[in-house]
Amino acid sequence: MAFWVYILASRPGGTICVGVTNDLVRRTYEHRNGLVEGFTRRYGVKRLVHFEHYDDPATAIQREKNIKHWSREWKIDLIVASNPEWRDLYDDVAS
């Protein structure tokens, strides 16, 4: 089974959110369509800008926790390293 750590953003340089899931397409779809109550819906955080694959749930959860404790600047650096244009990657993973 695959596990994913992901980062969503409201826009380039905007509000960001870090999460973990075992179904990246489903979870991103839920965020994009406002099906998840709370932070992401309230702040319009819908753009998938970074994701990482893990085979082990414990490793994925620990990575999510680590990233969540990073400064905003470090999170932005992580996004920019793999996606400098802050392109929405949802279509790449959903197809």
- Top-tier CATH class for 3-94: alpha beta
Q: Parse the chain into domains and list their residue ranges.
A: 3-94
- Which stretches of the chain score pLDDT less than 50? none
- pLDDT for 14: 96
- pLDDT for 49: 98
What is the SS3 string spanning 29-93? HHHHCCCCCCHHHHHCCCEEEEEEEECCHHHHHHHHHHHHHCCHHHHHHHHHHHCCCCCCCHHHH
Whether this prediction's pTM lies above 0.85 is answered by yes
φ, ψ (nearest 5 deg) of residue 71: -70, 160
- pLDDT for 36: 84
